[in-house]
Structure 1
């Protein structure tokens, strides 16, 4: 393999820091009424965020997005709009306007996503998966969305197999919050051994053997 190709393959990794936003409390401004803005609006609305989209023109697809959490404003961008939103999505094809929005965001300490080049922004939206009891987010460090989707689906399948166990452990944790030995108990049940007995239907027998029946009755 040529030396320069090797170098290209191993360059470009990005370190991400994950946070989980409470979607119902998150206000997002999208600047741009084209395809990129529509896709982001659709994605954020699906999670229950409050969305404002500002643009001089909107593609027809926006008419399909009927939601009380969506507000469309047909006018020029003004920096006054970013002040009432937590996250800003820059989704126009005007490079000068995009740069101006970025400057406004930096001056007002706003997190922003740049649709034309994610590396110029401050956040990206990860591939997400969900089961009855879990939510996961996944990135590849070099930016391969198809790979992220593939891996997320594999992880999701594994998590679904353990939904009942996760539900049991979460409920158990809530029951023992006032126990002096709660950390020891949580260490005990969050193991492969206990998962094995749970799947065999013998988990309560094991708990009684080690800690007594009073735990089950709380």
Structure 2
């Protein structure tokens, strides 16, 4: 298995290849369209790979995978660089795998919280709410009964550039945590200091719980 530092470098190189390949200039539409079709074909041949770790381990075979996809589809590389086509295809598959892994992790968190009889589950939390932009805070807490989730973030004030704490309520799928409604009309709040932000979070949790109780009664 590839070590994590090498894996990160590979993933970064795939994204760079993707950007380079799709930055084709000179108005060569045919070359651009051929690149897209070939990348898609290579990515299709990577569908049997079910994890980002396995994708990294498959990279040494990339040249052969590109050649096989080109032969299968009748597409020619021409002036398209093999390493860029391969990198773009691996980047495309990586995005899909990361989405699947994130979704699976959310589902497991939700199931575990329900099994424990919890009312809320933290689906995501990073950074420090006191650090501003030095370590930007972000979190998503879902109410297990209603699917309403409080999304917290640190964003720049458009006028002053100062760090502003925001709280938004969205609705998520009760099993997977997938976004169902990005604006259920509950709250979209901003705070200039962390103390008010923490108080706002607590108050908003009560609002969500009251809404859930009202819906249940209704």
More helix by share: 2
TM-score for the superposition, normalised by structure 2: 0.26
| TM-score, structure 1 as length reference | 0.26
